[in-house]
Every structure is written in C-alpha cells, then in structure tokens.
C-alpha cells in the first residue's frame, strides 16, 4: 500500500518557511553553490545505476533528474499556467521573478553562484544539502566523516527538525517568500504539505541500510511526521506575528485563513457553531497543524492540553479584534508549545503508543474536531502514516481507502461523512 500523494501540482508549486536554527538554511549560508553539474559526472553521483561497491548509490543525480519533482521546478515556471499567474501579478515572467524563483530554483545571490551554477537547474542538490563550496571536494574522501561535512556547511537533513525547517521553507512560508492570497488568487494552487507523506512519495536517492545508520541517525516515519507537524504549527504562529500579516489596511493576509470558510458554493449553507465559540460565518484562521498537535499531545502530554486549547481559542478570538491581540495571542501559544514540540521528533514511539496516537486522532475525527478540510486532510495522512508504521495498513485498506476518498476532493468534502468513516475505521482496529 502506498501513501497518498496530495497532488502533483502541490509538489511542484509549493511555496515557503524557516526559523532560526543552529545551521543556516542552504539559501542563507555564505558558501558558494557550485551547481548540479558539479555532482553529475559518472565518477561522482551521475552513474547510470547504483554502485554495489559504494556506501552510497552514486546515481543520485540520475534519480533526481528523471524522477524527482524538484528537478522540474524551474520548468514549471515556463508553463502557460505560470505565465498567466505572472501576467495577473504584473510580472514580466514567472521564470525571472524573485518571488517565483525563491522556491522553484536554488535562488542564491549572484556572488554565491559558482562557475557551473545554472538557475534553470531548479531545486538542485545544494538547495537541500547546502552550498558545496567548502565540502564538495573533501566529502568524497574516505577519511571525511559526515560530521566533517556538516562542519563545512553541509545541511543536516538527517535531523528531523532541521529537515522540516528546510522543506517548509518552500512549502509553508517565510517573511521573505510566501504564497499570499493575491498569488493564489492569480492561480497558484492551494498549498498542501505533510512532511512524511511527501518524503515517502519523493523518489529515494539513498537507502537507510546498516552502513547509512553507522554514519547518520535513522529517522522513523512517526518522528518525521511529528517533526513536520511541530514545525508547521510553530512557523504558523511565528508568521502570524510578522507585520505583513496585517498591514495597516482593512483586510489582513487572507492566506492564513481557512480557504473553504469562504470558497464554497453559495447554496452550500454552513451555518454552524464552532467549538471555540466563533460565530457562524466567521473567516477562520487555518489552525490545521495546531489542532493536530493538540490531538497528539492529548496522548503524549495530556496535562498541557487544556491550557493550549485555551490559548488557541484566544488566538481565534483575537483574529476578530486587532493585530495587536493576534500578535499577543500567537506569542503566548508559541511560548506554551515550544518546550513541548522540541521533544516530539526525538521520542521513541513503540507500537502501543502509536496505537494510542492513531486512536486519539480517529476519536477526534469521529467527534468532528477536524471539521475543516485542511485539518481532516492532515488527520487522514497522520492515520495512514501510523497504520503503515504499525504494519496493519493492508488489513485496514478498505476502511483507509474510504476515509481517503472523503478528503480526495476538497470541493466535495463533507465533515459529517469524514466523521462517520473515521468512526468505522476506529471500529475496525
């Protein structure tokens, strides 16, 4: 059984996030980016097939070029759809606009580009692994350790929180690059991302075998999922505190809100009271990652949930009042979450705890706690990840397939149907 992909367009067109971390993101470092061509020769990572005598495959470039959506990211900017978006935004071209290149290419400054660097390579090796200026030659030497490479500027993608920060820097948003409501209004797809699902659906260019685990830590799928969830929630709260979220105008940055609170047919009446007492008809902040985090903490740290839920409700209320109240509420929730989420990706989660996590997610789904599409979508992907990790996904396949079908099309999502199917899946455990 394979994990469900969100959409090919979401994989190709995701846009941007990252907070401070000990290791700068690849785009932030001062190291020279030498370009994909520096990795592509047959004596480096460009072999036709994996080398059985090497501790790495050495065909990583070929995998990236032939199968990886990241290699096509720049080409996406050359399509008619991308040009139409650029035209609406008043940009001469998508492939020349910084806001597009920042996530569809390794768009480092001109003085950080080596002789073989080409912006048209898209999201290449160094966009994820960091500029190779200091480690490109030495990393192939047998005496060089992975720690040596990290010290020379290679990015630690084997650290789940570091990987989450990196991936979300192009799949959620930063203060400098973000898919605003205006950009989505011009035609950019809604951003949809879940770290573990996207990781698995991307073609692997390494194998976490015994040799790999000697050199690097292995990230279990549950830990990757939790890291992505944690970083998404925390980044969202950080971005809400940025000035551009509510410029001095009547309307705030609407991309932070639930798309489907407004975008549905006028005859599809959705008059209902929210659990946090927001009045019907309210434009509601997109809290998908945060409500999922609270569901996780119901199992892992139940004593903290009441305070967190109170802070989240205060954030929603603040969104109806003023920018100052939003900033204050986001800051308070961030401070309460921070000591908890930093440990999520580092835990060891045995089968019993994974079952508890899955049961809690399904119980909250059945109780319609994830009644907005973005939360239901994330809840399904989490349940599937846990089922695959527990090894019972094949037995549960008919029920998982039915739950997936209920979130496959955002325009046909019915919260009550999702709740019923979640209850049925819970009964089949």
Mean pLDDT of 198-217: 90
pLDDT for the residue 10: 42
282 is a domain residue:
yes
- Of the listed ranges 13-17, 78-82, 126-130, the least confidently predicted one is 13-17
Query: CB under 8 Å, gap of 24 or more: what pairs does 76-79 form?
Result: 76/12, 76/13, 76/104, 77/101, 77/104
Cα separation, 211 vs 56, whole angstroms: 9
Evaluate whether 93 touches 78 at the Cβ level (below 8 Å): no
Evaluate whether 178 touches 255 at the Cβ level (below 8 Å): yes
- Of the listed ranges 28-42, 235-249, 294-308, the least confidently predicted one is 235-249
Question: What's the pLDDT band for 273 if we cut at 50, 70, 90?
Answer: low
pLDDT tens-digit profile of 143-180? 999 999 999 999 999 999 999 999 999 999 898 899 99
Between CA 46 and CA 56, with CA 52 as vertex, the angle to 5 degrees is 55
CA-closest candidate to residue 152, choices 163, 140, 162: 140
Report the CATH number that the domain containing residue 198 is assigned in CATH.
Answer: 1.10.1130
Provide the token pair at 343: 């440990």
172 plus 285 within the same structural domain: no
3 is a domain residue:
no
What is the DSSP code string of 30-74?
A: -S-B--GGGG-STTTT--SS--TTSSS-S-HHHHHHHH-GGGGHH
pLDDT tens-digit profile of 304-313? 999 999 999 9
- Of the listed ranges 178-182, 257-261, 325-329, 424-428, the least confidently predicted one is 257-261
Range of the structural domain that residue 127 is part of:
8-219
- Of the listed ranges 63-67, 209-213, 331-335, the least confidently predicted one is 209-213
254 plus 198 within the same structural domain: no
Q: What percent of the chain has pLDDT over 90?
A: 77
Evaluate whether 413 touches 373 at the Cβ level (below 8 Å): yes
In the block, which residue shows the tokens 């509420």? Answer: 329
138 plus 229 within the same structural domain: no
Cα end-to-end distance, the chain, whole Å: 17
pLDDT for the residue 22: 61
Q: How many domains does the chain have?
A: 2
37 plus 70 within the same structural domain: yes
110 plus 167 within the same structural domain: yes
Q: Say yes or no to pLDDT of 268 above 90.
A: no
208 plus 288 within the same structural domain: no
Cα separation, 348 vs 298, whole angstroms: 17
Mean pLDDT of 288-294: 97
């Amino acid at each position: 059984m394979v994990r469900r992909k969100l959409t090919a367009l979401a994989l190709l067109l995701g846009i941007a996030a990252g907070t401070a971390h000990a290791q700068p993101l690849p785009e932030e470092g001062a190291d020279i980016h030498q370009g994909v061509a520096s990795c592509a020769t047959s004596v480096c990572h460009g072999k036709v097939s994996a080398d059985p005598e090497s501790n790495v495959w050495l065909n990583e470039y070929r995998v990236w070029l032939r199968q990886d959506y990241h290699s096509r990211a720049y080409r996406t900017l050359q399509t008619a759809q991308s040009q139409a978006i650029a035209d609406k935004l008043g940009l001469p071209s998508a492939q020349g606009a910084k806001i597009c290149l920042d996530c569809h290419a390794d768009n480092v400054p001109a003085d950080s580009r080596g002789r073989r660097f080409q912006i048209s390579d898209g999201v290449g090796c160094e966009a994820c692994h960091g500029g190779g200026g200091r480690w490109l030659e030495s990393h192939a030497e047998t005496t060089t350790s992975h720690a040596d490479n990290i010290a020379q500027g290679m990015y630690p993608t084997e650290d789940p929180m570091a990987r989450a920060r990196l991936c979300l820097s192009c799949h959620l948003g930063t203060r400098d690059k973000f898919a605003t409501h205006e950009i989505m209004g011009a035609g950019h797809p809604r951003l949809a991302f879940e770290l573990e699902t996207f990781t698995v659906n991307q073609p692997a260019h390494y194998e976490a075998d015994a040799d790999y685990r000697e050199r690097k830590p292995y990230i279990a799928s549950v830990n990757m999922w939790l890291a992505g969830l944690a970083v998404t929630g925390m980044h969202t709260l950080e971005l809400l505190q940025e000035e551009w979220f509510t410029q001095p105008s009547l309307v705030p940055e609407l991309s932070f809100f639930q798309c489907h609170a407004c975008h549905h047919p006028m005859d599809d009446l959705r008059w209902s009271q929210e659990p946090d007492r927001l009045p019907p008809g309210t434009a509601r902040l997109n809290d998908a990652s945060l409500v999922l985090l609270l569901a996780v903490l119901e199992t892992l740290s139940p004593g903290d949930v009441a305070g967190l839920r109170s802070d989240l409700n205060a954030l929603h209320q603040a969104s109806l009042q003023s920018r100052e109240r939003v900033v204050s509420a986001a800051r308070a929730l961030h401070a309460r979450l921070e000591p908890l989420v930093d440990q999520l990706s580092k835990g060891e989660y045995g089968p019993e705890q994974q079952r508890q996590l899955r049961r809690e997610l399904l119980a909250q789904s059945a109780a319609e706690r994830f009644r907005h599409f973005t939360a239901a979508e994330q809840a399904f992907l989490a349940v599937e990840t846990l089922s695959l990790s527990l090894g019972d996904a094949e037995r549960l396949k008919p029920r998982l397939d039915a739950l997936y079908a209920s979130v496959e099309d955002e325009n046909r999502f019915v919260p009550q149907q999702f709740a019923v199917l979640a209850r049925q899946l819970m009964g089949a455990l």
